[in-house]
C-alpha cells in the first residue's frame, strides 16, 4: 500500500490510547480535534490493528494515568510495523517520576498535561507542516537530542521589548534572577515583588504583565492580584495578563486559575522555550508581534 506523506493531505491520522476519560483528558482531546481524524483505542495492541489493515497513523498519543500503564514490548512491536509514526505521551501528576525509574517508552516524547494544553497545538501544527524540532525528530532520538533541538529553537536575544513593565512576584531572589534573565528581552522594565518588599522602590506605572512564582495552591493567584491593587499599584487592571509558575498543579486548581482569562500556567519543571512561548503568546495577544522573533532553526 502506498502511504501518503504528511503535507500532501488535509488532516493527520491520530490514534489516542486511553483507558478512562478524566477531565484533563477531555481538555487534551480539544487540542487534537482541529488537526486530524481521531481514533480512540484502549491498548497499544488495539492501535496496532490499524497498521494491519494498512492505516498507518501519523501520530499516536498516550494518555497516561499511572506508571506501567503501557507495555514496552507492545510498543516496540507497534514501532516495528509503523516506524514513521510519531508518539507523544501526555502524563498526569501521578506519573512525573517515571523517567527516574527507567520505565518510559523508547522514542516517545513525554509532556505534562498542563504543558500539553499550552504547547500541543504548536507541536501538532509543526508536524502537519513537516517542520519543528520535537515531533520532527526520528523516533530513535534521545531526550538529550530533543533538548539540544529545543535549545536551537530558542528565540534570538535582540527582540524588541513588548511589555512596558513586567512584575515578578516570587519570595526567592534566585527565582527572580533567572526569570529576569529570560523575560528581559520582552520588557522595558522588570520589578521584583516579595514578602519583605515595602513597595517604595517600584516603578510608578502599573505592570502590564505579572509573572507569579507561586509556592502555594493556585487559588491564591487572584488574592495576590487583589493585594497588589490594594497596595502597590491601585491602578493595576484586574484583567492584567499573568504567567503562573506552579508546583504540582492539580486539575481543579488549574480550572479555578484559568477562569480569570488571559492567564498562562506552566508546571515546574519546564523548558525555557515553554516559558518564552508563553511570553510571546501573551505579547501577540496584546497586538503586533515583537520584532526579530524569528527562530534560529528557520531559514
Pair (200, 97) in one structural domain: no
Tell me what the mean pLDDT of segment 210-220 comes to: 82
Pair (132, 193) in one structural domain: no
Domain that holds residue 113: 12-151
Tell me what the mean pLDDT of segment 80-87 comes to: 92
Q: Using N-to-C axis directions, what is the helix angle for 113-128 and 23-32, rounded to 10°?
A: 20
Percent with pLDDT over 90 in the chain? 31
Looking at per-residue pLDDT, the higher value among 148 and 172 belongs to: 172
Task: Return d(Cα 207, Cα 200) in angstroms, integer.
Answer: 15
Chain mean pLDDT for the chain: 80
Pair (37, 141) in one structural domain: yes
User: Looking at residue 115, what is its pLDDT?
Assistant: 86
Looking at per-residue pLDDT, the higher value among 48 and 161 belongs to: 48
Pair (221, 120) in one structural domain: no
**114 lies in a domain?**
yes
**265 lies in a domain?**
yes
The total number of structural domains in the chain stands at 2
**211 lies in a domain?**
yes
Is the predicted pLDDT of residue 249 greater than 60, yes or no? yes
**248 lies in a domain?**
yes
Pair (180, 116) in one structural domain: no
Task: Return d(Cα 99, Cα 87) in angstroms, integer.
Answer: 16
Q: Are 290 and 154 in contact (CB under 8 A)?
A: no
Looking at per-residue pLDDT, the higher value among 56 and 269 belongs to: 56
Kindly report, residue by residue over 33-80, the tens digit of the pLDDT: 888 889 999 999 999 999 999 999 999 999 998 888 999 999 999 999
Instruction: Return the closest-CA partner of residue 226 out of 216, 240, 213, 214.
Output: 240
User: Looking at residue 130, what is its pLDDT?
Assistant: 65
Task: Return d(Cα 94, Cα 103) in angstroms, integer.
Answer: 14
Pair (79, 179) in one structural domain: no
User: Looking at residue 189, what is its pLDDT?
Assistant: 92
Q: For residue 285, name the pLDDT band (cuts at 50, 70, 90).
A: confident
Looking at per-residue pLDDT, the higher value among 29 and 7 belongs to: 29
**33 lies in a domain?**
yes
Q: Which of 17-26, 66-75, 139-148, 156-165 has the lowest mean pLDDT?
A: 156-165
Pair (247, 141) in one structural domain: no
User: Looking at residue 289, what is its pLDDT?
Assistant: 39
Kindly report, residue by residue over 93-152, the tens digit of the pLDDT: 778 777 777 677 888 988 888 889 888 888 888 787 766 567 777 777 777 777 777 665
Looking at per-residue pLDDT, the higher value among 255 and 61 belongs to: 61
Tell me what the mean pLDDT of segment 272-287 comes to: 81
Instruction: Return the closest-CA partner of residue 69 out of 104, 108, 112.
Output: 104
**21 lies in a domain?**
yes
Q: Which of 18-22, 153-157, 195-199 has the lowest mean pLDDT?
A: 153-157
Pair (146, 250) in one structural domain: no
Query: For the domain that residue 226 is a member of, what is the CATH number?
Result: 3.40.50.2300
Q: For residue 244, name the pLDDT band (cuts at 50, 70, 90).
A: very high
Pair (30, 117) in one structural domain: yes
CA distances from residue 63 to 44, 56, 67, 70, 250 in whole angstroms, order as listed = 12, 20, 11, 10, 16
**299 lies in a domain?**
no
Pair (172, 145) in one structural domain: no
Question: Around Cβ 102, how many Cβ atoms within 10 Å?
Answer: 6
Amino acid at each position: 500500500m502506498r502511504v501518503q506523506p504528511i503535507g500532501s493531505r488535509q488532516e493527520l491520522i491520530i490514534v489516542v490510547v486511553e483507558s478512562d476519560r478524566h477531565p484533563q483528558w477531555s481538555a487534551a482531546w480539544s487540542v487534537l480535534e482541529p488537526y486530524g481524524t481521531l481514533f480512540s483505542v484502549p491498548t497499544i495492541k488495539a492501535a496496532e490493528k490499524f497498521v494491519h489493515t494498512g492505516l498507518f497513523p501519523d501520530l499516536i498519543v498516550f494518555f497516561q494515568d499511572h506508571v506501567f500503564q503501557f507495555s514496552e514490548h507492545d510498543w516496540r512491536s507497534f514501532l516495528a510495523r509503523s516506524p514513521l509514526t510519531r508518539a507523544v505521551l501526555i502524563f498526569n501528576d501521578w506519573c512525573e517520576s517515571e523517567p527516574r525509574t527507567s520505565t518510559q517508552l523508547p522514542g516517545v516524547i513525554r509532556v505534562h498535561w498542563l504543558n500539553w494544553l499550552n504547547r500541543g497545538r504548536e507541536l501538532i501544527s509543526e508536524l502537519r507542516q513537516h517542520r519543528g524540532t520535537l515531533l520532527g525528530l526520528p523516533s530513535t532520538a534521545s531526550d538529550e537530542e530533543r533538548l539540544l533541538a529545543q535549545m536551537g529553537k530558542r528565540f534570538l536575544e535582540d527582540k524588541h521589548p513588548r511589555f512596558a513593565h513586567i512584575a515578578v512576584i516570587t519570595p526567592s531572589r534566585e527565582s527572580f534572577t533567572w526569570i529576569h534573565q529570560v523575560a528581559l528581552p520582552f520588557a522595558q522594565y522588570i520589578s521584583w515583588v516579595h514578602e519583605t518588599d515595602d513597595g517604595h522602590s517600584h516603578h510608578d506605572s502599573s505592570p502590564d504583565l505579572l509573572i507569579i512564582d507561586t509556592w502555594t495552591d493556585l487559588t491564591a493567584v487572584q488574592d495576590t492580584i487583589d493585594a497588589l491593587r490594594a497596595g502597590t499599584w491601585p491602578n493595576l487592571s484586574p484583567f492584567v495578563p499573568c504567567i503562573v509558575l506552579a508546583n504540582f498543579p492539580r486539575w481543579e486548581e488549574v480550572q479555578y486559575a484559568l477562569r480569570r482569562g488571559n492567564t498562562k500556567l506552566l508546571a515546574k519543571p519546564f523548558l525555557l522555550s515553554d516559558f518564552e512561548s508563553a511570553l510571546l503568546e501573551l505579547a501577540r495577544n496584546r497586538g503586533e508581534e515583537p520584532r526579530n522573533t524569528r527562530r534560529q532553526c528557520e531559514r
